Amino acid sequence: MESYVSQFINYLAVERGLAQNTLESYGRDLRQFQSYLQNSQMDILKDSSRNTILTYLNNLQTKGRAVSTISRNLAAIKSFYQYLVRERYLEKDPAANLESPKLEKKLPKILTIAEVEELLKQPNAFLPAGLRDKAMLELLYATGIRVSELISLNISDVNLDMGYIKCFGKGAKERIVPLGSIAAKCVQEYINKGRSKLVRTYEES
């Protein structure tokens, strides 16, 4: 099987032009599969079957491999068998119609209250850039808007008297988002004390 794996990796490198790290990943996964077949005294061309592949994947699961790892292994095996069929080493593809296991959807990690408070303390409010950063962080924390929405804000989108900002999200949909008093105060301080200095520095550079 080693020769078939080597031929396949060479095909991916020459014909498909895949990156080196991708080639190494394919080679590593396929050689592990090769080792499994050899230990089971099976021949890659004579003995491979759908059941063999499923048993191997189940073996990976039993060893505690992550779903993403099993899915990557199956992708390598499927591509390998497609190559063997295309090159007429095999008549039928034993990996045909095998579906990758569904990847787990991990919940996003969130900051603790202590971590948020520590983050909000980081900007140096005695510097124009610090006032800007403080305003940006407080806006993100108070409104929950996306970073892409934050950096697209214009002065005209901020209404401090009424306590809201106007932003455009996905699909250019306009949203009116209320501001908290602390965020509004930080934005006001940035506009009054920091923005003009930063704009002047930018124009002079």
Task: Look at residue 106 and tell me whether its pLDDT is greater than 70.
Answer: no
Residue spans of the domains in the chain: they are 2-86, 113-204
CATH homologous superfamily of 2-86 equals Tyrosine recombinase, N-terminal domain (1.10.150.130)
Task: Report how far residue 132's alpha carbon sits from residue 142's, in angstroms, rounded to the nearest whole number.
Answer: 15
Angular region, 36: left φ>0, alpha ψ -120 to 50, beta rest: alpha
Confidence of residue 3 (pLDDT cuts 50, 70, 90): confident
Per residue in 134-179, pLDDT (tens digit) is 999 999 999 988 888 898 888 899 999 999 999 877 666 788 999 8
pLDDT on residue 117 = 87
What radius of gyration do the chain's Cα atoms show? 28
Token reading at 156: 């005209």
Task: Look at residue 103 and tell me whether its pLDDT is greater than 70.
Answer: no
pLDDT on residue 73 = 92
Angular region, 56: left φ>0, alpha ψ -120 to 50, beta rest: alpha
Question: Into which CATH architecture does domain 113-204 fall?
Answer: Orthogonal Bundle (1.10)
Task: Look at residue 122 and tell me whether its pLDDT is greater than 90.
Answer: yes
Beta bridge partners of 194: none
Angular region, 174: left φ>0, alpha ψ -120 to 50, beta rest: beta
Task: Look at residue 43 and tell me whether its pLDDT is greater than 90.
Answer: no
Cβ burial, residue 63 (10 Å; 0-12/13-18/19+): exposed
Per residue in 71-98, pLDDT (tens digit) is 999 999 999 999 999 999 988 898 888 8
Confidence of residue 198 (pLDDT cuts 50, 70, 90): confident
